[in-house]
Chains A and B, each alone.
Chain A
Amino acid sequence: MKPLAGGTELLLLIRDKKIPTPKYLLDLNAIRKELSYVKLEEDKVRIGAATTLYELSQSILHKDKRYAGFVDVFYGFATMAMRFYATIGGNILSATQYNDYLTLLTVYEPELVLVSKEGERRLTLEQLVLDKRKLAIKPDELLKEIIIPVPPENTSSSFMKFDRRRILIAGVVTGAVLLTLNDNVIEDVKISFDMIREKRVPGRAKKTEEFLRGKELSEEVVEEAAEKILPSEMERVSDWWTTAEYRLDMSKVVLKRNIFRAARRIRGGK
């Protein structure tokens, strides 16, 4: 049995015989209304798992600079037509390095609420997404909600997907940054890439974050982080699309651009 949300991942997996054909599909459409919402509460944003990407784009997430990365992901995601029915929950649970909302959410450190007959439990992304298409969700559980802590005021994010085209691409390199500045000091920074090491799911560049935290934001500091620290914790792979060397080079570029774009956004720019 497999739950079916937008079906944009699941139906292709079945079609391409990448998974055994499930005996049953559980159509989530019947409860889609209850599972589609973006609610801002005092210190958290609650997102229903079956919220479509289009619905996300109509919410606070596309208005407040603290969530600017959501706008970046949206406009690079598949094509407009698919954004009307693909869901954010389906994106997380597809659990591959090509899942852009997963890469972005990684820097927001969300809590995931799972429900079953037994009740609810909450996991972090790291606890839920173990490896490519390997999840800690049980067969009788549904993802109900994604909870993001509201970031401090002087915060913004940026997401970049680098490839030869602007849409309909998996991304040679994708990365996200969530940056909090205090004047020009990096109060906090979270960095994610489609993958960091051998796990083929998005992960955090924690050493690079550690290096940057507390430092004055400057070209030199970011350059050092990208050139010296990031490669020490990142292992890139070669595949049909490109080589590991090129991926690593582009990862450095994506990191630098993401940091400076987030910084510009904190200061009211684009």
Chain B
Amino acid sequence: MVETIRVNLKVNGKQYVLDIPPDERLIDTLRYRLGFTSVKEGCGRGECGSCIVLVNGLPRHSCLTLTATLDGAEILTVEGLAPEGKLHAIQVAFLETRGVQCGFCTPAFMLLTKALLDKTLDPSDEEIKQWLASAICRCGSYHYYFKAVRKAAEYLKKGKILFDEKEVRKNLYKLPLLR
């Protein structure tokens, strides 16, 4: 007999009532039960940070978290940053600073940025380093990420939170090449 535990979860603003086997990891609930595939599995042991999501606003490794322990929690993945057709300032900043290469690590870095900027819109270089060092980027986009965080902070300070996705995409091609 498979026993399950009832868990109330709010994911990206939507309420779910789930019956979960007690040993199910949050990453599996999010990816395979609910279809939020922005959450990536790298090491599965808390080291690479690819699986980071926000639980009640704070970064958390979904590979080291049992869903059954999260009754009543609110979870944010990249899918929840902006509604369909819109992009969040953080996403726009990452695009505009060319912070995205292969993109595998990008959801984690964006969510780390979100949690950091929720605390302060003026993070020091050291703070950015501390927070973003929670994830690993095998493409080595780190130096772009510093710029991305600052640019996102600028947008948010001006109250620009949501952008029209089509507009952003159109303007991306007009950006000068880097270097």
Residues of A within 8 A of B (CB): 4, 7-8, 11-12, 15, 25, 27, 29, 54, 75, 78-82, 84-85, 167-168
Contacts and interface: CB of A to CB of B under 8 A. Distances in A.
A81 B59 CA distance: 5
16 contacts: A4-B66, A4-B69, A7-B65, A7-B66, A8-B46, A8-B64, A11-B66, A29-B69, A80-B133, A81-B59, A81-B60, A81-B134, A82-B46, A84-B58, A85-B60, A85-B65
Contacts of B45: 12, 15
A25 B131 CA distance: 30
A90 to B, nearest CB: 12
Contacts of A81: 49, 52, 59-61, 112, 134-135
Contact of B69 (A8, A27, A84): A27
Majority secondary structure, B binding face: mixed
B66 A80 contact: no
Contacts of A82: 46, 61, 134
B33 to A, nearest CB: 19
Contacts, number: 54
A15 B60 CA distance: 18
A119 to B, nearest CB: 28
B173 to A, nearest CB: 34
A262 B99 CA distance: 41
Nearest to B127: A80
Contacts of B49: 79, 81
Nearest to A4: B69
A95 to B, nearest CB: 19
Interface of B: 22, 44-47, 49, 52, 58-61, 64-66, 68-69, 112, 130-131, 133-135
A54 B56 CA distance: 14
Nearest to A167: B133
Contacts of B46: 8, 12, 78, 82
A172 B45 CA distance: 21
Nearest to A11: B64
A15 B23 CA distance: 11
A12 B22 CA distance: 16
Given A79-B134, A167-B133, A27 B61 contact: no
A26 B64 CA distance: 16
A80 B59 contact: yes
Q: B49, B134, B135: which has the most chain A beta carbons within 10 Å?
A: B134
Contacts of B22: 25
A81 B49 CA distance: 8
Contact of A168 (B47, B65, B68, B130): B47
Given A7-B65, A79-B133, A81-B135, 4 more contacts: A8-B61, A11-B64, A81-B112, A85-B58
Contacts of B61: 8, 81-82
B69 A80 contact: no
A29 B45 CA distance: 21
Contacts of A80: 59, 112, 130-131, 133-134
Contacts of B135: 79, 81
Contacts of B69: 4, 7, 27, 29
Contacts of A7: 64-66, 69
Nearest to B112: A81
A4 B52 CA distance: 20
Contacts of A85: 58, 60, 65
Nearest 8 interchain pairs by C-beta: A81-B134, A81-B59, A79-B134, A84-B58, A80-B134, A27-B69, A80-B131, A80-B130
B140 to A, nearest CB: 16
Contacts of B131: 80
Contacts of B66: 4, 7, 11, 25, 27
A25 B52 CA distance: 23
Q: A15, A79, A82: which has the most chain B beta carbons within 10 Å?
A: A79
B59 A84 contact: yes
